[in-house]
A and B are shown apart, each in its own frame.
Chain A
């Protein structure tokens, strides 16, 4: 489904991703861990299509298409979703209007019929229930004044609304209390299917207790330096990242 091959990306002349390769098959959950500043969010942004990054080498195929050649909105239409580490606040744009436009845009892209007002509200109520999102939040402006945890929950709610095939969760667990973590994880697990995949970026094993990954990768200085099964996450939690320095001296 997603095939990243020798990806190099820079920002302002500084290389952040330095030959990253990763293969995700339908139905798989991959976790990416790694120290601060190693390039995890950069990878997520590059995949979602943020224009600040220059791709200097490599390729990314998504469902067989050249992902890097698509506009961000086309990537979303193709089934890519990024739950942002820091979702932006957009005062003056109501959550409901935003979601209706988003859902209908991707539906149009996918050749599906645009939802009527009634059907949209029904869908919204249904997905809201999955993440136990306070209904009042959808009446407000996008993320405006949401607490850290509410923002993360709202991201998962959006994911549920847009029905992507590949979801990248960038530290969605950070800032969530135990209950919220459980709710968010359950929402993800409910959506799991043989067609849907996840790329979960996290610092903590506790998320991976709930969303059990098929593979765990360690990203360090713009490259995947180690991959393994779910037990690798436990090992990392125990050992920390100091061992990386010896493995791959700067």
Chain B
């Protein structure tokens, strides 16, 4: 007899099953794998602080209510492509893309050119080294997403904005999304992906991103998770970085009943420069788990990871930072830092650094702090006439801005700044 969890798994898969995503062998393999893959439990080391079982419990529908416009959802002054997904489905009416001309091939899944189909056939699923039920479900059935290919030597100057708007009705809404970005040699791409929801309905999004940056390529990728507190996100992002390449990742999380952002970067060539930053500002009973893994496979690479959290209410933040330095990866520089401020007595933060270093000539460091807001500073500001809430905003701004300094998309930076100071 099937256990309850197996039944949940079966109905979850049934809800997300699509027939459209036929084809590649990766999809077929993932479907097969799903038969045996189990739902993670808190006994699994990587899932120790986050209970995902409940995500499978709801009975999901894949359709939601209409969204007529992107008003209020666009990043002001960010000029470039806009691809909008409503309730998980690509909306041609709300989207415009192609601003980079020949410098970038881009299309939503379901509208792929022959060239982009080829990219999918070659690379889809390639980076998923540690398949689990969520990634496999995504590979098997996700028929929505964005495929980007920047040919060698092309600078795609205009940023790509991917906007998700969920408008769940009475029934819980489930959606899947798959991104595949391939940035060629000496090529540059910039992407800002934002997540919103309308109304108070429940939703669950299962997303997988694969990022391939070839030698001396450069990718900036920002995610802003700004849905309602009834929204849950399971995100897996994999990056494969070639020699001399650069990546700047930034993840901002406001929303979510349960959010898990997995980020796994493999520094697969010499002299890679990787910046992985994030900020989470959470309250109520939110649970936000950032799980990061940086694989230093080659010498002379640099990775720097800075995650900062402000947690209030009875919310829970989790940060796991795994740095793995392979035996050949001499002259590695790998830094990691997780700093948190708890604004309430019931707020929780779990930080778990994990360093495994198999090379001897490396510089690695990690640090974690969780504390209170500096009351002395708040008093100083108030004594100068600044109202308490404003003083707190200034302190939160001061605390977090360091994480976005390296972003090159100015409008995105300004947007993040505004979002952060407006959060509490």
Binding site for B on A (CB under 8 A): 48-51, 71-73, 75-77, 82, 84, 87-88, 90-93, 97-98, 101-103, 105-106, 109, 141-142, 158, 162
Give complex CA distance A52, B100 in Å: 59
Give complex CA distance A106, B388 in Å: 13
Which of B376, B394, B398 sits near A101, CB closer than 8 Å?
Answer: B394
Give complex CA distance A62, B336 in Å: 51
**What are the interface flags for B357-384 relative to A under an 8 Å C-beta threshold, 1 for contact and 0 otherwise?**
0000000000000000010110111111
- Provide the residues of chain A in CB contact with B383, threshold 8 Å: 48-49, 72-73, 75-76, 82, 84
CB within 8 Å of A: which of B371-416?
Answer: 374, 376-377, 379-388, 390-391, 394-395, 397-399, 401-402
The reply to whether A76 and B377 contact each other, CB–CB distance below 8 Å, is no
The reply to whether A92 and B385 contact each other, CB–CB distance below 8 Å, is no
Give complex CA distance A102, B385 in Å: 5
In the complex, besides A48-B379, A49-B383, A92-B397, 10 extra interface pairs with C-beta distance below 8 angstroms are A71-B387, A73-B386, A73-B391, A92-B398, A98-B384, A102-B385, A105-B390, A109-B385, A158-B384, A162-B384
Tell me how far the C-beta of A55 lies from the nearest C-beta in chain B, rounded to whole angstroms. Answer: 16
The reply to whether A87 and B380 contact each other, CB–CB distance below 8 Å, is yes
The reply to whether B386 and A90 contact each other, CB–CB distance below 8 Å, is no
The reply to whether B380 and A84 contact each other, CB–CB distance below 8 Å, is yes
The reply to whether A90 and B380 contact each other, CB–CB distance below 8 Å, is yes
Which of A51, A77, A88, A142 sits near B385, CB closer than 8 Å?
Answer: A77
- Provide the residues of chain B in CB contact with A102, threshold 8 Å: 381, 384-386
The reply to whether B385 and A76 contact each other, CB–CB distance below 8 Å, is yes
Tell me how far the C-beta of A140 lies from the nearest C-beta in chain B, rounded to whole angstroms. Answer: 13
User: In the complex where A73-B388, A101-B394 touch, is A92 in contact with B380 (Cβ < 8 A)?
Assistant: no
- Provide the residues of chain A in CB contact with B395, threshold 8 Å: 90, 93
**Most B-side CB within 10 Å, residue of A101, A109, A141, A142:** A101
Give complex CA distance A109, B398 in Å: 25
Give complex CA distance A106, B381 in Å: 12
- Provide the residues of chain A in CB contact with B380, threshold 8 Å: 84, 87-88, 90, 142
The reply to whether A105 and B385 contact each other, CB–CB distance below 8 Å, is yes
Give complex CA distance A17, B353 in Å: 48
Tell me how far the C-beta of B374 lies from the nearest C-beta in chain A, rounded to whole angstroms. Answer: 8
**Most A-side CB within 10 Å, residue of B379, B384, B402:** B384
Give complex CA distance A141, B380 in Å: 14
- Provide the residues of chain B in CB contact with A71, threshold 8 Å: 382, 387-388
The reply to whether A76 and B384 contact each other, CB–CB distance below 8 Å, is yes
Give complex CA distance A73, B377 in Å: 13
A-B contact list, 5 entries, CB within 8 Å: A50-B379, A82-B383, A90-B374, A90-B377, A102-B386
Give complex CA distance A199, B138 in Å: 69
Give complex CA distance A9, B287 in Å: 42
- Provide the residues of chain A in CB contact with B382, threshold 8 Å: 49, 71-73, 76
The reply to whether B384 and A88 contact each other, CB–CB distance below 8 Å, is no
- Provide the residues of chain B in CB contact with A73, threshold 8 Å: 382-388, 391
The reply to whether B376 and A88 contact each other, CB–CB distance below 8 Å, is yes
- Provide the residues of chain A in CB contact with B394, threshold 8 Å: 93, 97-98, 101
- Provide the residues of chain B in CB contact with A90, threshold 8 Å: 374, 377, 380-381, 395, 398
- Provide the residues of chain A in CB contact with B398, threshold 8 Å: 90-93, 141
- Provide the residues of chain A in CB contact with B391, threshold 8 Å: 73
Give complex CA distance A102, B387 in Å: 9
Nearest B-chain residue to A99, judged by Cβ: B384
Tell me how far the C-beta of B381 lies from the nearest C-beta in chain A, rounded to whole angstroms. Answer: 7
CB within 8 Å of A: which of B280-308?
Answer: none
Tell me how far the C-beta of A168 lies from the nearest C-beta in chain B, rounded to whole angstroms. Answer: 10
**Most A-side CB within 10 Å, residue of B385, B388, B390, B391:** B385
